[in-house]
Structure 1
Amino acid sequence: MHCPRNQLASPSLMNRIPPTPFGAVLLAFLLTGTTGCEKLAGVMGRAEIPNLGPPIPASVRMEFDPSLADARAQYIDSCGHIDVVLIGDPLEDVLLQAAQQTFKTVYAGRAPADTIPDIEVRISLLQPRLNIKKDNVYDREPAELTLDAIAVFKDSSGKLLLEQPLQAVRQERLIVEPTQKRCAYASIDKFVYDTAVVLSIKFIREARALLAPDTMTAAASQTPSSPTGQPSAQGPAALSFKATILDENNNLILESGERVKVRVDLANSGGGPAQGVSVNLGGTPLLVSQFPATTLPVGTLQPGESRSVEFSATLPQVVAAQRGELVVTITEASGTGVPAAQILVAAMRPGGEAGAGGRSAATRYDDVDRVPAASPGFQRP
């Protein structure tokens, strides 16, 4: 199937249409109109991949090895049950979006019989590795996902141009679903998607370095381990972040003796790297003074990269009831593209009767294991 740039239909989407009369109607509906590719692209959505340069004036055929198309990762959920998450479909979709953004013309799977693409790319995937650690204190459990791929580039004659390993490693805290059982992870699909975006950015860099090094922006030519220069004028860094308070019993009230974390999720959605990034914590002195560190270095965030840091503290055993504020700010070496501060308002109160589950003297608690004595004059009906 051939679609012009930005009008690409993913084979994984076609595979998900059920082989039933309803599926045939759905497929016909998707393909009806002046441009069926536009409708399919609209259904898929687009991956948020930064602009790393103008399209390479070449056609490419993207082929995915079954090891990628069928990829999935097994993990243990928060209740100890074995579960799996699909890797192949989201990764394939994001890589196709990356190819759209990199090449003028993209063929997914087979090219038309009368067309010979300039470049052929075949991507295979090793077994994904997903590791989730249990955290019995907070509703977010630390996870790490590793994707190892191999991209093989060939010219139109079949000559090998490059065989390049690609790796994406992402660490994040997965949100446990706020249900009664609290077993599943609400953010695991987004976690896989974000890791796929990181891998796709590395694919774009390798493709540009091989086929069109002169068209690479400063962001595209850099690797995560290489020193970074000034951001390209065409693509400056654009930082964004979200700050969240995590308390031990998840009631959003900071109580005496409770362990508390302030989690900050950062992302660079711009076209250039953000250098010398750090996160600062300020606010109510009594509250801020409980945190051993009030500045955490983040380092350099490449385009499309995200990272998380956490401030940790344990509140004192005696806390007066009051209102506290935590102010989270971001600094960057160039001072440009820095988002506004975020203020987190927290209620503080003592533990015990109203806080840590203590019992009030005015409240009666009956022992459900003790059979009450029969009342005089009472008869069963």
Structure 2
Amino acid sequence: MVAIGHAVIPTERLNHIRLVTGAWMLCVLLLAACVKPLEFPPLGDPLPVSAKLDMAPPIKDLTIRYSDSCGQLQEIPLGDRLQEAVREGLRRTFNTTVDDSAGDTAIPDYVIHVDLVDSSFDLNKEALYDRAPAVLHLNAIARIHDRKGALLRQTDIKIDRQERLRLEQLSKNCNYLIDPFIRDTVIDFATRVSLNARQAVTGQETASSTELSPIPVGSVGASSASPSQALRFKAMLLDENSNLILEGGEHVRVRVDIINAGTRVIESASASLTGTPIVIEQFPATTLPIPPLQPGQTKSIEFIATLPPTKQAQQAAIHVTVAESGGAQAPSQTLSLAIQPAGTGQDDVNQIPAPAPGFHQPQTYLVSIGVGAYRDPKLTLRRFAATDAETVAAYFQSLGGVPPSNVRLLHNQKALRADIHEALYGWLPQHAAKDAVVIVYFSGQAMVTPSGDILLTLYDGNAGDSTRLYPLTDLESAFARLKTKQIIFLFDGMVSRRL
């Protein structure tokens, strides 16, 4: 897979187009309904005041870099992920959030400033085990000011997250499954910032009721939190191969993220597991101590076990309880699971799932193109390209809620230049209105000219004649004519430099 975006479609000329490459399954994830939301622990009822986030440039621009197992440099825009998570945390903490980037000029009741002190990321690829230990360190300062500029609270936000990263199950096994690790880190960071903002607002005493929206008596706040309200947690069940199918003999982890939402230090607490005996008996320990928690601090612990072998599917449940030694206990959580016989977890992506009930995207349009056969015998066949285009179209209709009338499928002999031209210049402009989302998927291969131009290979393409190929600049021209809300181009295939 080769990223082909910026060299072909300059963002300054066509900034409403998002160009994405990768495995075709990414297309399903790009739909809003299929994107996994950030799962925050309980943050309390939103406070009836407004707030604005001010992230300093060093943290907004933060990027972590590492070399994968094949020696290729990888970059992750951690600053963007942190800013997105903190904004979401503040939206859950305050009734109203002010966003300068959206042209919002309202004066907020509170401003949350976040500055970076230092950061580091280490990935030990020389580990003797099948997973590489990763350590991500973040040290920041959160300052909460009222609308007069008075400093209400200043807190160090320190994150030290460690985890063993598994290689992706792809043909080259180069990169690591790092996204869940990053997601948990940014949620942890955002949770601490949001809880500190809540404590600053509910605990400050100098605010004038004529200038700030009043906070009703009985609203959730740090100063009035009972012991059971102060101790909060989120439990997650993680399987070894991350396919969400639990099989007999597979290693699983029960991860518990605990948060101190109160104002006092929680010195002694523990997390415990109960539930279906055949599962609970596999855990070496069913109770683990929780390190001391400062106000607003988060800690994570994990229970690890191997699921028992089974010859038929079994239902089970794990009940997670977190309690202080003095008796205060957070509401328990239950993790339901189904254990399948080993070997039944192989994904069959060609098995189209049942349609998502009640979910419709009448303003989404898809042009799915798959070219794997060619007139020119010198071109390498792409055996499954046409099938991939059909499968992508089926997934968008079943899980994405796209009506069949909004899908145009073109493959092999039916994906000539004239066919693509008609779909992009004729069919789409006639149907896609200004609120529409247009998705163009291409499965096949492309070639690169010495000048860097990228050309898609169609059924009647020729490896030695660039005039018989389809330039991505033609796609740019077609996209520029569309007056839609968003355009997404997905490329799934290989790129060669034979021209």
Q: What TM bracket, shorter-length normalisation?
A: 0.5 to 0.7
For residue 337 of structure 1, what is the aligned residue in structure 2? 332
Amino acid corresponding to residue 145 of structure 1 in structure 2: L
Return the match for 1:265 from 254, 268, 271: 254
Describe the shift of the 1:132–1:163 C-alpha distance in structure 2 as closer, same or farther (beyond 3 A).
same
- SS for the counterpart of 1:95 is helix
Coordinate RMSD, CA, aligned: 5.0
Alignment-mate amino acid for residue 198 of structure 1:
D
The aligned residue for residue 379 of structure 1 is: none
1:146 aligns with 2:137: yes
Report Cα offsets for 1:249-301 as digits up to 9, x if no partner: xxx998xxxxxx8341324599989x6323589759xx96xx9x454626389
Match among 237, 244, 255 for residue 241 of structure 1: 237
Distance 1:143 1:210 in 2: 33
**Separation of aligned partners in 1, 2:300 and 2:85:** 16
SS of 2:155's equivalent in the other structure is strand
Q: Secondary structure at the match of 1:152?
A: strand
Contact 1:102/1:204 (8 A) holds in 2 = yes
Q: 1:157 to 1:197 in 2, by over 3 A?
A: same
CA distance in 1, matches of 2:168, 2:224: 37
- Identity within the alignment, %: 23
SS at match of 1:61: strand
Q: How many residues end up aligned between the 2 structures?
A: 286
- Could you tell me whether the CA contact under 8 Å between 1:50 and 1:303 is conserved in 2? no
2:181 corresponds to which of 177, 191, 209: 191
Residue aligning to 1:277: 271
| Residues 149, 22 of structure 1: alpha-carbon distance in 2 compared, 3 angstrom cutoff | same
Structure 2 unmatched ranges of 5 or more: 1-8, 19-31, 204-216, 263-268, 324-328, 343-499
Measure the CA separation in 2 of the matches of 1:166 and 1:270: 13
Match 2:89 to one of 98, 112, 130: 98
| Aligned twin of 1:308 | 302
Note closer, same or farther for the CA distance 1:282–1:299 as it changes in structure 2 (3 Å cut): farther
Structure-2-length-normalised TM-score:
0.45
Flag the 1:78–1:222 CA change in 2: closer, same or farther, 3 A: farther
| Structure 2 match to 1:211 | 201
Does residue 1:68 correspond to 2:68, yes or no? no
Contact 2:144 2:200 in 1 (8 A): no
Aligned mates of 1:65, 1:322 — CA distance in 2: 53
Task: Output aligned runs, 1:1-381, within 5 Å.
Answer: 19-24=11-16, 46-109=37-100, 115-134=106-125, 135-138=127-130, 140-186=131-177, 188-213=178-203, 217=220, 229-231=227-229, 239-244=235-240, 262-267=251-256, 276-278=270-272, 283=278, 293=284, 295=286, 297=288, 299=290, 306-311=300-305, 329-332=318-321, 337-339=332-334
Assess, with a 3 A threshold, how the Cα gap between structure 1 residues 328 and 43 changes in structure 2: closer, same or farther: closer
SS in 2 for 1:339: strand
Q: Deviations over 1:316-349 (max 9, x none)?
A: xxxxx997999895552569634257576777xx
Shift of 1:189: 2.3
Instruction: Report the alpha carbon displacement of residue 221 of structure 1 after superposing the two structures with TM.
Output: 6.9
**Contact 2:235-2:320 within 8 A present in 1 as well:** no
Compare 81-90 and 63-72 and name the one that shifted more.
81-90
CA separation of 1:311 and 1:239: change in aligned 2, threshold 3 A:
closer
Contact 1:142 1:174 in 2 (8 A): yes
**Letter aligned with residue 95 of structure 1:** V
> Could you tell me how far apart the structure 1 residues matched to 2:224 and 2:122 are?
28
Rate the CA distance shift 1:295–1:113 in 2: closer, same or farther, 3 A.
closer
